[in-house]
Structures are given as structure tokens and as C-alpha cells.
């Protein structure tokens, strides 16, 4: 599959971000194509989170250009990115635990009743929001008993399910997932990984930041490798092995790579 003849949904050229003398991004490029899961891997300090923050509007790059569907964009805040149809899922379960599931899904985007009750009295349409939330949960096959139970009664995996469902509900272009399973146990991680695959099935491209190589190689269509503030390679699970990807990521020498490969195969 040659991805290069299509227009990327999201694209970045030569992103630079400096903090004093520290160069967090040093001319990083980036492409995300329709319908794919693109994993971003890199050692600590390689510039993963700075890149993601630039793409999601959480920070503004000093240099470089970001294009959405081919058009240049300047996100001054996460709100701008959200308006453009980019939703982000964070590792630390960014949900309101005391509020119920439907409320969390619609938080900040509440639906009001039609007519004078909604316009004049600003009355919420709770039933419609519960119905919508139920529909999204069914589509994503997230099993919960009721949309009106508080999120704190859910397991960690289900809570992250709420965060993913919220992102999938509102994202029109793409979803960014920043270490979505970092806070979860083994079984719950499995649920969330399956969920990420289903988000792709619904046609939404996903940017997945993860430390976990087996998960990356299982889910990703392409793997974007960061090192020293740049993209050093884009590989696929078909063309490269995990030790090779790790070697590129850490800048290992040829000899070290061969060593890694023999150990990996034995």
C-alpha cells in the first residue's frame, strides 16, 4: 500500500519548538492518512508529547506548518483543534468521576430542549443525551449497565471507554490518544485496545502514542519514530520487527542492532 499518493488528513512540515536552549522539536515532519492508526513512538525526551501538543493545539510551534486536509491551520488552543474536528484522549482518565456517563459524554456540549423551554429556560434535554450516548456505546461495543450511573462506579477500562467514546462522538476528522492504556491493568488494556480498533473501523483515523511495543505492532498501520526532536523513520509492522524499531528509536549502531536482532530471534 503506497500511502504517499493520497492527501494526508493531518500533515506537519518542519515543526520547531524551543524552550530556552532546549530544542524539543527540531524540524519534525508528520503525516496521518485517512482510516489509519498511526503510532508515534520515541524515547523520553524525543519530542513525542511536544509534537502531539502542537498537533492538538496545546502549544504553538515556533516554526513550521500544520495542514488539515491540505489547508494550513493555526491552532491557538485545544479548543481550536476541537472545533476543527480533532479530539484528544489523555492517559490520566480525564473524566468527571461524580457525574454520570451521559453527562461526561456531553460535558461542555450539552443539548438543550427545542422550543421555548430550551431557549428561554435553557432546559437540558437529558433524555436525548442519554439516548445518543447509549447509541454510541452500542456502536463501540462498550458494555455498561446504564448511562445514568456515575463514572466512578466503573472499572478503569470502562472509564477510559467513556473518554474514548466521548472523543469518537465528537471527532469529525481524527482522534489523538496519548498513552490511553498507561494507567490500566492487563485486562482493561485489552478492552481499550479493541476499542481503538473499532474507532478505526468507524472510519476515524487515530494517532496513538504508546510505550508498549507489542500493542503498537498489533494495532498500528504505520509507526512514526521520533528521535532528538525529529521524525527519523516511518516503518510498518510488516517491514520491521520490534527490535529494529527500538533500535531506530534509540539510535543504536548497526552492530548493536544485529546483536538485538539475534537476541530477538533466539
Partner 1 sequence: MTTTDPTASEQAGWTSDALELGRRILTTPAVGPFIALLATMAFFSFKSDRFLETQNLSLVLQQVMVVGVLAIGQTMVILTAGIDLSVGTVMALGQIVMTKLAVENGVPAIPALLLGILTCVAFGVLNGGLVTAIRLPAFIVTLGTLNIAFALTHVVSNDLTFPGLPSELLFFGRTFSLAGGDFTYGVVLMLVLYAIAWYALTQTAWGRHVYAVGDNPEAARLTGINVNRVLLSVYTLAGLMSGIAAMLLVARTELGDPNAGQTTENLDSITAVVLGGTSLFGGRGTVIGTLIGATIVGVFRNGLTLIGVEVIYQYLVTGILVILAVSVDQLTHRRRA
Please report, as ranges, the residues that interact with partner 1 according to CB under 8 A.
78-79, 82, 88, 90, 94-99, 103, 107-110, 112, 121-124, 152, 166
The distance of closest approach from Cβ of residue 15 to partner 1 in the complex, given in angstroms and rounded to an integer, is 22
The distance of closest approach from Cβ of residue 93 to partner 1 in the complex, given in angstroms and rounded to an integer, is 8
Q: Which of 231, 234, 230, 229 is nearest to 245 (CA)?
A: 234
The distance of closest approach from Cβ of residue 4 to partner 1 in the complex, given in angstroms and rounded to an integer, is 34
Considering beta carbons, is residue 32 or 89 the nearer one to partner 1? 89
The distance of closest approach from Cβ of residue 196 to partner 1 in the complex, given in angstroms and rounded to an integer, is 19
102: its cell numbers: 451521559
Secondary structure (H, E, C), 62-81: CEEEEEECCEEECCCCHHHH
175: its cell numbers: 482522534
The distance of closest approach from Cβ of residue 112 to partner 1 in the complex, given in angstroms and rounded to an integer, is 7
The distance of closest approach from Cβ of residue 230 to partner 1 in the complex, given in angstroms and rounded to an integer, is 28
Considering beta carbons, is residue 45 or 150 the nearer one to partner 1? 150
| Angle, helices 242-250/254-265, rounded to nearest 10 degrees | 150
Q: Which of 51, 69, 68 is nearest to 60 (CA)?
A: 51
Considering beta carbons, is residue 152 or 256 the nearer one to partner 1? 152
Task: Tell the residue number behind the cell numbers 534509540, with chain if given.
Answer: 250
251: its cell numbers: 539510535
Q: How far apart are CA 21 and CA 23, in angstroms?
A: 6
Considering beta carbons, is residue 8 or 57 the nearer one to partner 1? 57
What DSSP assignment string belongs to 3-38? Answer: -TTSPPSEEEEEEEEEETTEEEEEEEEEEE-TT-EE
Task: Tell the residue number behind the cell numbers 525526551, with chain if given.
Answer: 45
Q: How far apart are CA 265 and CA 257, in angstroms?
A: 12
Considering beta carbons, is residue 79 or 114 the nearer one to partner 1? 79
Question: What are the φ/ψ torsions at residue 229 (nearest 5 degrees)?
Answer: 80, 10
Considering beta carbons, is residue 124 or 252 the nearer one to partner 1? 124
The distance of closest approach from Cβ of residue 45 to partner 1 in the complex, given in angstroms and rounded to an integer, is 24
CB atoms within 10 A of CB 147: 20
Considering beta carbons, is residue 108 or 214 the nearer one to partner 1? 108
Task: Tell the residue number behind the cell numbers 450516548, with chain if given.
Answer: 133
Amino acid at each position: 500500500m503506497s500511502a504517499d499518493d493520497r492527501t494526508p488528513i493531518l500533515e506537519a512540515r518542519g515543526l520547531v519548538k524551543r524552550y530556552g536552549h532546549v530544542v524539543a522539536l527540531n524540524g519534525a515532519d508528520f503525516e496521518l492518512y485517512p482510516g489509519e492508526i498511526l503510532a508515534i513512538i520515541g524515547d523520553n525526551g524525543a519530542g513525542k508529547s511536544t509534537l502531539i501538543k502542537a498537533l492538538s493545539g496545546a502549544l504553538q510551534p515556533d516554526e513550521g506548518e500544520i495542514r488539515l486536509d491540505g489547508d494550513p491551520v493555526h491552532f491557538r488552543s485545544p479548543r481550536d483543534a476541537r472545533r476543527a474536528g480533532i479530539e484528544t484522549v489523555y492517559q490520566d482518565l480525564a473524566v468527571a468521576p461524580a457525574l454520570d456517563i451521559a453527562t461526561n459524554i456531553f460535558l461542555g456540549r450539552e443539548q438543550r430542549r427545542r422550543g421555548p423551554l430550551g431557549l428561554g429556560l435553557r432546559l437540558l434535554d437529558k433524555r436525548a443525551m442519554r439516548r445518543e450516548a447509549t447509541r454510541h456505546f452500542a456502536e463501540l461495543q462498550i458494555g455498561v449497565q446504564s448511562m445514568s450511573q456515575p463514572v466512578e462506579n466503573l472499572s478503569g477500562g470502562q472509564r477510559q471507554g467513556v473518554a474514548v467514546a466521548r472523543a469518537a462522538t465528537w471527532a469529525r476528522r481524527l482522534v489523538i490518544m496519548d498513552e490511553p492504556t498507561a494507567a490500566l491493568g492487563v485486562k482493561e488494556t485489552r478492552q481499550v485496545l479493541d476499542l481503538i480498533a473499532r474507532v478505526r473501523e468507524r472510519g476515524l483515523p487515530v494517532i496513538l502514542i504508546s510505550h508498549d511495543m507489542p500493542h503498537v505492532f498489533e494495532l498500528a498501520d504505520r509507526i512514526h519514530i521520533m528521535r532528538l526532536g525529529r521524525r527519523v523513520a516511518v516503518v510498518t509492522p510488516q517491514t520491521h520487527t520490534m527490535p529494529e524499531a527500538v533500535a531506530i528509536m534509540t539510535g543504536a549502531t548497526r552492530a548493536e542492532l544485529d546483536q538485538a536482532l539475534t537476541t530477538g530471534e533466539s
